[in-house]
């Protein structure tokens, strides 16, 4: 059995997958017995990045066993992690999100930085530890930054993220803008996806006081295409609310071309979610102009409202 498993959050996005692979690479170079794994299916955007740079997808796991050594990337909250995580031995965390619902029985290496992407932190680690960044690893870190920053449109994107992306694009030998737009568009198609796939592809669970919410997000080039499937989406979301005992399910549909989001909200406390943005739901829907970042423009506002 591999000594240490490295993985990102459930319903993995490009940063989660790429960061696991990239951090596993540096650990293996340093002689550690590690393996990058994943906690869910790959989305089309991530598949594009892995195929472009000829990198094999990490092995899929559903849970971790008691005493298993693990390293978490791109997350820390236990409800977003592997089943059984509370019984595992967490050796390290590399993350760029808020710290919540996290506790360990022993000391660990914890690195959290207010940057737009875990990939940017990993580039710093490679440089700090004088480890060579090859074309494949540069391509994966670049892909992660593009994904999390929506090609630098997200307010979470920092100058360090942009500089890192430019340097990584040079190493990966790609045109930053051309590759970035192609990768984002690869993950933006929604026509052939079932409603359940759309609402679960990038969904994260949050515990806010006594309430449990799921905030899901998809990126698209045509939000109307998704909104028109409201009956189908409502049925799928209500099933999730019932099954998981949610106070609300928030589904953010972000247009990567206009940088606006249409948001479906269902559940007993859907109006409380709308209040967080000073909005009133119309047919369970609201428009948030200029909102593209779940981490910075959605989660903090909802958290503040629910924790009053």
Residue-wise pLDDT for 66-80, tens only, equals: 999 999 999 999 999
Report the DSSP pairing between strands 260-266 and 285-288: antiparallel
Residue 97 marked ligand-binding: no
User: Average per-residue pLDDT in the chain?
Assistant: 95
Report the DSSP pairing between strands 211-220 and 248-255: parallel
Q: What is the pLDDT of residues 255-307, one digit of tens each?
A: 988 999 999 999 999 999 999 999 999 999 999 999 999 999 999 999 999 99
What was the pLDDT predicted at 257?
86
Q: What is the pLDDT of residues 195-225, one digit of tens each?
A: 999 999 899 999 999 999 999 999 998 888 8
Residue 148 marked ligand-binding: yes
What was the pLDDT predicted at 192?
80
User: What percent of the chain stands above pLDDT 70?
Assistant: 99
pTM: 0.85
Per the DSSP assignment, residues forming a β-bridge with 89 are 69
With CA atoms as reference, report the closest residue to 219 among 180, 186, 171. 186
Distance between CA 105 and CA 115 in Å, rounded?
Answer: 27
Strand order in the sheet with 69-73: 59-60, 34-38, 4-7, 69-73, 89-95, 109-112
Per the DSSP assignment, residues forming a β-bridge with 111 are 94
Token pair 């949610």 in the structure block, residue:
246
Residue 96 marked ligand-binding: yes
What was the pLDDT predicted at 222?
86
The confidence band for 42, taking pLDDT boundaries of 50, 70 and 90, is very high
The answer to whether residue 56 scores a pLDDT higher than 80 is yes
Per the DSSP assignment, residues forming a β-bridge with 71 are 6, 92
Give residue 74's region: left, alpha or beta (phi > 0; psi -120 to 50).
left
- Strand, helix or coil for residue 208: strand
What domains sit in the chain, N to C, each tagged with a CATH number?
A: 4-188 (3.90.1640.10), 195-307 (3.10.310.20)
What was the pLDDT predicted at 189?
82
Name all contacts of 192-199 with Cβ < 8 Å and 24+ positions apart.
195/229, 195/232, 195/233, 195/235, 195/236, 196/236, 198/226, 198/233, 198/236, 198/251, 199/233, 199/236, 199/237, 199/240, 199/249, 199/251
Q: What is the pLDDT of residues 122-150, one digit of tens each?
A: 999 999 999 999 999 999 999 999 999 99
Q: What is the pLDDT of residues 180-194, one digit of tens each?
A: 999 999 988 887 889
Quick check: 228 and 253 in contact, CB under 8 A?
no
Residue 134 marked ligand-binding: no
Residue 9 marked ligand-binding: yes
- Tell me what the mean pLDDT of segment 110-124 comes to: 97
Residue 15 marked ligand-binding: yes
> C-alpha angle 256/262/266, rounded to 5°?
140
């Amino acid at each position: 059995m591999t000594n240490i498993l490295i993985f990102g959050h459930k319903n993995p996005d490009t940063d989660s997958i790429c960061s696991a692979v990239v951090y596993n690479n540096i650990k293996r170079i340093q002689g550690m017995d590690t393996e990058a794994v994943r906690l869910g299916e790959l989305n089309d955007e991530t598949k594009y990045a892995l195929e472009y740079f000829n990198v094999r997808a990490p092995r899929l796991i559903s849970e971790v066993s008691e005493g298993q050594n693990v390293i978490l990337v791109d997350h820390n909250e236990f409800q977003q992690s592997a089943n059984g995580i509370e019984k595992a031995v967490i050796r390290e965390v590399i993350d760029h999100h808020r710290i919540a619902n996290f506790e360990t029985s022993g000391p660990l290496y914890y690195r959290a930085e207010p940057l737009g992407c875990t990939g940017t932190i990993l580039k710093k680690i490679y440089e700090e530890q004088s480890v060579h960044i090859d074309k494949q690893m540069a391509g994966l870190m670049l892909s992660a930054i593009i994904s999390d920053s929506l090609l630098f449109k997200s307010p979470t994107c920092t100058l360090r993220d942009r500089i890192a992306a430019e340097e990584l694009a040079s190493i990966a030998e790609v045109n930053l803008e051309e590759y970035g737009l192609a990768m984002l568009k690869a993950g933006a198609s929604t026509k052939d996806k079932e409603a359940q796939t759309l609402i679960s592809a990038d969904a994260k669970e949050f515990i806010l006081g006594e309430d449990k919410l799921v905030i899901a997000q998809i990126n698209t080039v045509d939000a109307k295409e998704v909104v028109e499937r409201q009956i189908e989406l409502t049925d799928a979301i209500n099933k999730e609310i019932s099954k998981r005992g949610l106070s609300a399910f928030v589904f953010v549909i972000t247009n990567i071309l206009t940088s606006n989001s249409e948001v479906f909200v269902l559940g007993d406390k859907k109006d409380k979610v709308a209040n967080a943005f000073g909005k009133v739901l119309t047919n369970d829907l609201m428009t948030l102009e200029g909102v593209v970042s779940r981490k910075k423009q959605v989660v903090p506002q909802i958290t503040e409202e629910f924790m009053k």
